[in-house]
Structure 1
Amino acid sequence: MYHYYMFNKPFGCVCARRDDRYPTVMDYFSDLDNPDLSPVGRLDRATEGLLLVTDDGMFNQKLTHPSYKKEKTYLFTAMGTLSEEDLYALEHGVQLTGSDRLTAPAHVSVTATSVLKEVLPTLHPEIQSASCHNRPEHPIVFGEITVTEGKKHQVRRMLKAVGCCIIALKRVTMGNFTLDETLAPGEFKEIFPEL
C-alpha cells in the first residue's frame, strides 16, 4: 500500500535525499522509516509551501511530467512593478534566459503593492540581509501566478524576464491539491487522494 503526505516546506531546506550544506525535505520524514518516500517535484531552497511526498512512483509522474500539464499556483512577493504589458507578457509567454522557446501561458494577478521598508521585516532573515541594501522606497508587488510547466526556477525566471526580483515565493496548489494552511512550516500530514 502506498503512502501520500502533504508537507508545508519551510524556507531553507532542499528537495534532495542528502545534502552536505542544508537540511533536506526527507529529514522531516526520517521517523517514518520509509526509504521509498520521495518529493513529488521540487521546490528550490528559498521557496516555501505545498510539497507532496510519496512512495508511489506513478502518482509522482502524473503530477510532474510535463505532458500532464498540472497547474501549480504560487504566491509571490517581488521587488519591482508589474504593468499591464508585463502581465500580458507573463500570461502569453516570456523568453527565459537560456531557453529558445516562450513559456507556456500562465495566469497572473497582482494582489497588492507596497514598498520595501514595509515588507522587509516580514521576510526571512536571509532575504532581509540580501535585500536591505536596496532603497527603502523600492516598489514591491504581491501577486499570484499559476503555471503548468516546471522548468528550473521557472516562476523566479519568469518574473525576472519582466524586471521583477522575487523575494518570497510560496506554492499553494498543485493539481487538485491545496496546501492545508493549518500545517505550520515543517509539518506534514498523511492524505488519501482519490486515484
Structure 2
Amino acid sequence: MLYYMFNKPQGCVTARSDAVHRTVMDYFPKELAERLHPVGRLDKDTCGLLILTDDGDLDFRIMQPDRHVSKTYFFYSIGTMNDEKKQLLEKGVPMVGFTTGVASFTLQKEYRICELEKFMPAERRERYMRNPDGPAFSASLTIHEGKKHEVKRMLEAVGCRIFYLRRESIGSLQLDSSLAEGEYRELSDNEVDMLGNVDIDVSL
C-alpha cells in the first residue's frame, strides 16, 4: 500500500482529473498519479494536509462524517470573536438540516484587516480592503464531522468570514511543517499506524 502526505496549495481542486482546473494529482509524477487517490477533499481555496493513497478503505475509516475523526484547521477571518460566539462554535451551530457537533476553538491573534492582505484571495482582496482598519483574527478550530464547507459556514453563522483556511491535522497526524505548499512525501510506518488507529468518538 502507498500512503502520501501532501501539502495542498490553494487554487487546485481535489480530484483525479478536471477539464478546467489544475488538480492535486498534477503535482505527482504520472506513475504515482495513476495509482493514488485523495482521501476526502479540500476546497479549491483551502490548503494544507491531504492524504493520498491506493488503500481503498482509508477514506471510509477516517473521512466519513459519522466516524467523528477530529480535523483541525487554522484560519484567518474578518470579524470579531467573543466568549458568546466561542461557546456557540464549541457547543454546536444550528445549520439547515443539522446542528454541528462539539468543537474546540482557539483564538490566536487579533489583527487589522490590512495586516493580512497577503493572505487574501486576489479576486476578493479589493472588496476586503475597503475597510483596511476593520477587525480580523487568526484562530484554529477542531471539528469531528467534515460536512461540506463546515468550518466556513460555522464562522459565517457567528458573523465572521474566513478568507484563508488550512487543514493542520487529521486525528493525531499533523501536517509536516517542512513541506512547502505543493510538496509531498511518503508517510512513515508510525504515521500510517496513526491513520489506521484513529480514535473514533461514538459519543459525539
The one-letter amino acid of 2:71's match is K
The aligned counterpart of 2:116 is 119
The aligned counterpart of 2:157 is 161
Question: Matched residue pairs, number?
Answer: 191
Determine the C-alpha separation between the residues in 1 that align with 2:18 and 2:127.
23
Q: 1:137 aligns with which of 128, 133, 140?
A: 133
The aligned counterpart of 1:44 is 43
Contact 1:14 1:24 in 2 (8 A): yes
Contact 2:65 2:147 in 1 (8 A): no
The aligned counterpart of 1:53 is 52
TM-score w.r.t. the length of structure 1 is: 0.92
Residue 175 of structure 2 corresponds to residue 179 of structure 1: yes
The aligned counterpart of 1:8 is 7
Secondary structure at the aligned position of 2:167 is classed as strand
The alpha-carbon distance between structure 1 residues 76 and 100, as it changes in their structure 2 partners (threshold 3 A), is same
List gaps (5 residues or longer) in structure 1. none
Residues 72-96 of structure 1: per-residue CA shift (max 9 Å, x gap): 0000100001111000000000122
List gaps (5 residues or longer) in structure 2. 197-204
The Cα of 1:29 is off from its aligned counterpart by: 1.9
The one-letter amino acid of 2:109's match is A
Contact 1:6 1:52 in 2 (8 A): yes
TM-score w.r.t. the length of structure 2 is: 0.88
Compute the RMSD of aligned alpha carbons.
1.5
Determine the C-alpha separation between the residues in 1 that align with 2:151 and 2:120.
18
Residue 68 of structure 2 corresponds to residue 72 of structure 1: no
